[in-house]
Amino acid sequence: MTPIYDRVALIGLGLIAGSMAIAMREQGLAREIVGHARSAETRRVALEIGLVDQVFETAAEAVADADLIVLAVPVGAMAAVAEEIAPHLKPGATVTDVGSVKQAVVSAVAPHIPEGVHFIPGHPLAGTEHSGPRSGFATLFRNRWWLFAPFPGADEVAIRRLEGLVEAMGAKTERMDAAHHDLVLAVTSHTPHLIAYTMVGVADHLKRVTESEVVQYSAAGFRDFTRIAASDPTMWRDVFLQNKDAVLDILGRFTEELFVLQRAIRMGDGDHLFDYFTRTRAIRRGIIEAGQDTSAPDFGRSQTGAEQKAEG
């Protein structure tokens, strides 16, 4: 395949950036892939395993002459990174990100982007509970949605070029307003993650159930909670702080629904519970029909860890 970009700079070399590097290399989508990570060990490993062609100690060095710059750092670090790289971005380059929150990223990054450089906020709805430069794999984005939140009047050629890159990696693309993105993700990802963390925390504090029992007798539901709750703590701390309004809104609605279910259980209202579970079951069917999960036994999670999916 003809390269879409000559030089791609990955700022942050974890799961998402690593998977992008592997997929781009396999598909021949970039002539050169360079990177930067704060950790010297991460930089060493990334170079050792051939994740990037060159690795740099600073983000400023990494973005020099790059046609595409991908900010794959925690949301809370976006502003500092954008400020550092801004003077070194070449005219005509495209800057994108992979953050799970879009309004906060726009506010942090956009003020630093110089005239003549295209900033196209993005978010791949793909991931696993694993992190680090060794965690990436080429098929991570296959049949996953990659959302973009371009500004009104943004350069259409630059947007299509970026969309073409991620589509070549197997992703499906959609454009969405930043505020609407944050609300949608609060429903589909952020609040479910918070609930998972909470449920695992409840088990940890419930002294009547020992730790060995929790580990040994974990049924599928709790096991999935622990998988989700194993996600990167820095990333999720930043997600909740940066998307707090939408998360608190959805969390309030969740609490209201929980009160209704509590009452139904307390009152022995089986009809209400059955109807409620029937409606929610239909959503699961819709997710499978949309190709966003599998109906295989154990949700397909008896596969290798690299194939396990958890949205970010």
Instruction: Give the fold, CATH level 3, of 5-176.
Output: Rossmann fold (3.40.50)
Residue corresponding to tokens 């109807």: 275
Number of residues assigned to the chain = 312
Cα–chain center distance at 201: 23
Gyration radius of the chain's alpha carbons: 21
Question: Hunting for tokens 């900010």 — which residue is that?
Answer: 71
- Cβ atoms < 10 Å from Cβ of 56: 18
Q: What is the pLDDT of residue 302?
A: 42
pTM listed for this prediction: 0.79
Q: What pLDDT is attached to residue 296? A: 54
- Tell which residue, 38, 91, 46, 97, has the closest CA to residue 64: 91
Q: What are phi and psi of 171, to 5 degrees?
A: -80, 160
Structure-token pair, residue 280:
């929610």
The residues pairing with 97 across neighbouring beta strands, listed in sequence order, are 71
DSSP class of residue 67 equals: S
**Among the residues of 49-129, which ranges form H helices?**
59-63, 78-85, 103-109
pLDDT of residue 192: 83
For position 104, what pLDDT does the model report? 95
Tell me which of 1.10.3660.10, 3.90.1150.10, 3.40.1160.10, 1.10.3720.10 is the CATH number of domain 180-268: 1.10.3660.10
Sequence ranges of the chain with CATH classification 3.40.50.720: 5-176
**How wide is the angle at C-alpha 298 spanned by C-alphas 296 and 303, nearest 5°?**
80
Answer yes or no: are the C-beta atoms of 70 and 98 closer than 8 Å: yes
* Residue 105 pLDDT: 96
CATH 1.10.3660.10 intervals, the chain: 180-268
Taking only the tens place, the pLDDT of each residue in 91-147 is 999 999 999 999 999 999 999 999 999 999 999 998 777 888 999 999 999 999 999
Which pLDDT tens digits describe the chain residue by residue (312 residues)? 789 999 999 999 999 999 999 999 999 999 999 999 999 999 999 999 999 999 999 999 999 999 999 999 999 999 999 999 999 999 999 999 999 999 999 999 999 999 999 999 999 998 777 888 999 999 999 999 999 999 999 999 999 999 999 999 999 999 999 999 999 999 888 888 888 778 777 776 665 666 566 656 556 677 677 777 777 788 888 888 888 999 899 889 889 988 999 999 999 999 999 998 888 777 777 666 666 665 554 444 444 333 333 445
Q: How far apart are CA 310 and CA 312, in angstroms?
A: 7
Those residues whose C-beta lies under 8 Å from the C-beta of residue 15, and which sit 6 or more positions away, are 127, 128, 130, 131, 132, 135, 136, 140
Looking only at the bridges linking them, the beta strands covering 172-175 and 5-11 are unpaired
Q: What is the largest CA-CA distance in the chain?
A: 67
DSSP secondary structure string, 3-62? -SEEEEEEES-SHHHHHHHHHHHHHT-EEEEEEE-S-HHHHHHHHHTTS-SEEESSHHHH
